[in-house]
Amino acid sequence: MDQSQKPLVQASSIVKKFGGFTALNQVDLIIYPGERLGLIGPNGSGKSTLVNCISGMLKIDGGSVQLRGEDITQLATHARVHAGIARSFQIPKPFKSMTVIENIQVVINFAGHLRSEADDHRTHEEKALSIIQSVGLMNKADAISSSLTQVELRKLELARAMSANPQLLIADEALAGLSGAEVDEILELIMGMKAKGISVLMIEHIMSAVMRFSERLMVLVAGSKVADGDPQDVISNPEVIKAYLGE
């Protein structure tokens, strides 16, 4: 992580309200190119709301979102995918009647070709197979996605996100419900995004995994940012301890 670089994503003074309830109150977030940022907080703290605002699934009520220095606050979700922001979800939702490779090709056709390297002359099928191999699903390339196990579905979910050729991947509880060995397997794939030049913002409740993953850690409590910095310093912060353990 090199904070001397210009931010990849900069969300400034984000406000999000649902009726009279303020879910996010003047929240700032910066993600640098190639950075692994962990986002934690108690249930209901606003984590998913914040990433939904960054990905465009929710419109903000105040503040701004910039990608590579350009204001994307008004862009729709699909336009942000085209611009370089992809996300995976806690509950994978592939096209169940399609094979693994067909699921990947759909995303490549929609968005993944937009930022391809000029000298990348591979066919969409070749690109899809390369991504499938990178997540360890080559032996399932022609399998119908509805036949996959839970950990295989998580791999497919990550592969679908990678197929959009993102600069930022938002991983929302990608480890939930997995066994210890499966957690290690998926975490290794997520951490490997850095070598591909992809920044990752990860929401996760498994603290051991968060600490392994995070180069920097940010904490939300009741819609406000209470800590942001070195993971060891953050988890020693009295406000963070109070949020998780009480008075």
Taking only the tens of pLDDT, the chain with its 247 residues reads 566 789 999 999 999 999 999 999 999 999 999 999 999 999 999 999 999 999 999 999 999 999 999 999 999 999 999 999 999 887 888 888 999 999 999 999 887 555 555 556 778 889 999 999 999 999 999 999 999 999 999 999 999 999 999 999 999 989 988 999 999 999 999 999 999 999 999 999 899 999 999 999 999 999 999 999 999 999 999 999 988 766 5
The residue type at 169: L
What pTM value is reported for the model? 0.91
Q: How far apart are CA 27 and CA 15, in angstroms?
A: 7
User: Any idea how long the chain is?
Assistant: 247
| Residue-wise burial string across 162-201, b where 16 or more C-beta atoms lie within 10 A, e elsewhere | bbbbbbbbbbbbbbeebeeebbebbbebbbebbeeebbbb
Centre a 10 Å sphere on the Cβ of residue 220 and count the other Cβ atoms it contains: 27
Tokens for 193? 């995004």
pLDDT of residue 245: 66
pLDDT of residue 58: 96
pLDDT of residue 110: 81
Which residues 6+ apart lie within 8 Å of 125 measured at CB? 101, 105
Q: 2.40.37.10, 3.40.50.2000, 2.40.110.10, 3.40.50.300: which CATH number matches 1-84+204-247?
A: 3.40.50.300
